[in-house]
Structure 1
Amino acid sequence: MNNTTIHALDFDGVICDSAVETAITGWKAASQIWQDMPNSAAPQSLIDQFRLVRPIIETGYEAILAMRLLFLGESCTAIYSHYQAKTQQLLEQAQVSSDDLKKLFGDTRDHWIANDLPDWIAMNPLFAGVKEKLQAIGQAHNWYVITTKQERFVKQILQANAIELADQRIFGLDRNMSKPEVLKDLLITHPDQPIEFVEDRLPTLLNVQKLPELSKVELLFATWGYNTQEDKAIASQQGFRMLSLEDFLL
């Protein structure tokens, strides 16, 4: 990283390994909707399976649906094969909307944080070396977070790791902006500086790649994040710059 390049970083799967916390929050929230799910600790076996299906999830609240499917005995393969249909069916059966789930997911996290912040932080570890890297460039203010996570949760995790980032440099779910829209704004804000976008989700990078107006943004595929071997192969074929955690930390 250097001070002339603007670095736009995804959060979950690039900065933070939040899969376990997301699974637990999803379980807690799901148990409030479906009474047959025990209001107890999420089974470790389902948390382990959740990590395998995590690459298909775009926004955190979908963990509620994923944990429900896993509880019902759906295999990871079945979830990948029919994800949209299966999640839509759950929404219709429970008579809830995605907005309902977003609020429930956020409220469930807020309750956990209010009751045991250290435990919540512990379930959201940063990837090895990332804390030190972001601390080192923090004074330069040449990086942004672009995420589908609610911004207050990003702020709490960064603060807990003594990483300074101004609020206006965190673009989260609250802004109702897609990642391509945020990147377009950054191109306007920084017209004379190169922009690199580091993202671990292949569909997100493919969506950015489709837009001619974002052709100046260099797209980096975070291989350490929530993606599959198939994703890695496609990302390489599409010409994305393949970025390992070791290279990211240089």
Structure 2
Amino acid sequence: MRRPAILALDLDGVLVDGMEEYWTSSLHVAQGFGAPWISSNGEIPPAFRRIRPWVHTGWEMVVVAWALAHGAAEETFLQDYHAALRQWQRKLGQSSAVLQDALERHRSDCLLSDPRGWLARHRPYPGVVERLRRCRHGGVDWVVITTKGQEFATALLEQGGLQPTAVYGREDGPKIRVLRRLLEQRQPVWFVEDRLPTLEQVTADHQLGGVGCYLAAWGYLRHADRQQLHPPARWLDHATFCAPFHTWPT
């Protein structure tokens, strides 16, 4: 039967929807750097939802929250995300490392002081937990590769009763490096990710030719991602993800 030896999965946007936590944590940190208070009545601003698919690592969300609190136009990020990110980071006046450290410290504080509340801001996507439990019964090891800190990723997985073979957080380096190590262990490796630029980096790497790449249709996608997706990366809808491996596109 056609199946992977190792199924590698992104966390945010593939296994878990954490949009509520992204916004509340990012805004809290942004306010610590002088962002004005804004009232959203507990709602996540639609602009933040639409910009979130462009984000690669956590510190960028702090810049986005800081910018939106200062009245930044959503379109400036959607038209040229990286230029807008650089512009607003200069206005904020903090390095990426400082912003990431502040976000990590805030998350650690939340996890320590109110673990139930912090975890409740994340929701597993429907069917994901059951699908991954079937992996073990089918002899497929599954691992998580995320830009989130390992501490937080592990806590989220444990909340859902999930026990991957391994969790690779931002401390383990770029996803490409982790995938190379996995290929050295066992093959084939299948990788499910909701960020198209990451999949493009994987498919362009000659050392990763043995990795099957899938774009998660239910994740945080940009409008044109499906049209810009090219083989060998494949589109993976939610129903197929939950189905037996032999039904996955090749």
**Could you tell me which of 186, 206, 209 is aligned with 1:212?**
206
Residue in 1 that maps onto 2:190: 196
Could you tell me which residue of structure 2 aligns to residue 228 of structure 1? 222
| Distance of 1:183 and 1:197 partners within structure 2 | 8
Q: CA deviation at 1:15?
A: 0.5
Counterparts of 2:240 and 2:7 in 1: how far apart (Å)? 14
1:123 to 116, 121, 124: 121
Distance 1:217 1:44, change over 3 A: same
Q: Residues of 2 paired with 1:153 and 1:212: CA distance?
A: 32
Aligned pairs for 1:40-189 (under 5 A) are 44=42, 46-138=44-136, 140=139, 142-166=141-165, 169-175=166-172, 177-189=173-185
Q: Distance in 1 between matches of 2:126 and 2:197?
A: 25
CA drift at 1:20: 1.7
- Matches of 1:47 and 1:105 in 2, distance apart? 19
SS at match of 1:31: helix
Distance apart, 1:115 and its partner CA: 2.4
Indicate the residue corresponding to 1:6 in structure 2.
6
Measure the CA separation in 2 of the matches of 1:2 and 1:151. Answer: 31
Provide the alpha-carbon RMSD of the alignment.
Answer: 2.1
**Worse-superposed segment, 225-234 or 81-90:** 81-90
Q: CA deviation at 1:4?
A: 4.9
Following the alignment from structure 1 to structure 2, what is the Cα–Cα distance between the partners of residues 7 and 98?
A: 31
Q: Which amino acid aligns with 2:65?
A: M
Give, in angstroms, the shift of residue 41 of structure 1. Answer: 6.8
Letter in 2 for 1:215: G
Aligned-pair distance for 1:113? 1.8
Quote the residue 1:244 is aligned against.
237
Answer whether contact 1:138 1:165 (CA < 8 A) is retained: no
Aligned residues, how many? Answer: 242
Query: Structure 1 length as normaliser, TM-score?
Result: 0.89
2:11 match: secondary structure: coil
Is the 1:5–1:195 contact (alpha carbons within 8 Å) kept by the matching residues of 2?
A: yes
Check 1:73–1:94 CA distance in 2 against 1; reply closer, same or farther (3 A cut): closer
Q: CA deviation at 1:45?
A: 5.4
Structure 2 runs not aligned, ≥5 long: 244-250
- Is the partner of 1:229 in helix, strand or coil? coil
Residues 83-142 of structure 1, C-alpha deviations (whole Å, 9 max, x = no match): 223322333333321111111001111122222211211111110111122233346561
Q: 1:27, 1:64 within 8 Å by CA — same for their partners in 2?
A: yes
Kept in 1, the 8 Å contact 2:4–2:189? The answer is: no
Q: Work out the CA distance in 2 between the residues paired with 1:48 and 1:15.
A: 22
Aligned equivalents of 2:43, 2:134: Cα separation in 1: 37
The answer to whether the 8 Å contact 2:190/2:213 transfers is yes
Q: Secondary structure at the match of 1:73?
A: coil
Identity value in percent:
29
Q: How far, CA to CA, are the matches of 1:4 and 1:109 in structure 2?
A: 34
Asked if the contact 2:76–2:84 (Cα under 8 Å) also holds between the matched residues in 1, the reply is no
